[in-house]
Amino acid sequence: MENINKGMLHRAFSVFLFNSEGKLLLQQRSADKITFPSYWTNTCCSHPLYVPGELEEENAIGVRRAAQRKLLNEMGIKPEQLPLDEFNYLTRIWYKAPSDGLWGEHEVDYILFMQRDVDFVPNPEEVRDAKYFSKEELKAFIQNAQANNIPLTPWFALIAEDYLWGWWDALLDGTLESKKDHKTVHNMVK
């Protein structure tokens, strides 16, 4: 948090993986995570490494490679089930959120959507639980979470509040391309 309070930020990505039924796969982060332990969030969230293959900016290919790597590490989804060209890079958000006072996040977060049926076996060191939600089920889950102090990661809550439902509709009706905005970094610092 000391560095965050100085204004330092880093790159991140958030993957939203949908199955062929249009359901979104969510995970509950492991209780052992440094930031936001046991919080519910989108399918996978992490950071590109400072290595040549994950630093490539053109069409967010480095971020796509990082997402493929972390989906294997967290969810046990094999890379061949996640073709790089099927990740839809939508946009970026900028947000800041403390976790426990010592740790937190201050990120430019690349948003990636994919619709594909995959096999997954969550890594218990990374993921406590994982399940698919329809749009209606997720809306009810979020309302219940807010009413019953079930923690949602801040980036997931912000995305759900401002963008997720429209992006989800566009995915299902085949107009997701119209939602892509690679020029804007949406300011969600609150």
What residues are annotated to the active site?
A: 45, 107
Distance CA 43, CA 27 (A): 6
Distance CA 185, CA 178 (A): 17
Six-digit token string for 50: 């400072």
**Contact assessment for residue 33 and residue 27, using Cβ atoms and an 8 Å cutoff:** no
Give the other-Cβ count within 10 Å of 91's Cβ: 17
3-state DSSP: the chain helix, strand, coil percent, rounded to 5? 35, 30, 35
Query: DSSP assignment of 26-92, as one string?
Result: EEEEPTT-SSSTT-EESSEEE---SSHHHH--GGGHHHHHHHHHHHHHHH---GGGS-GGG-EEEEE
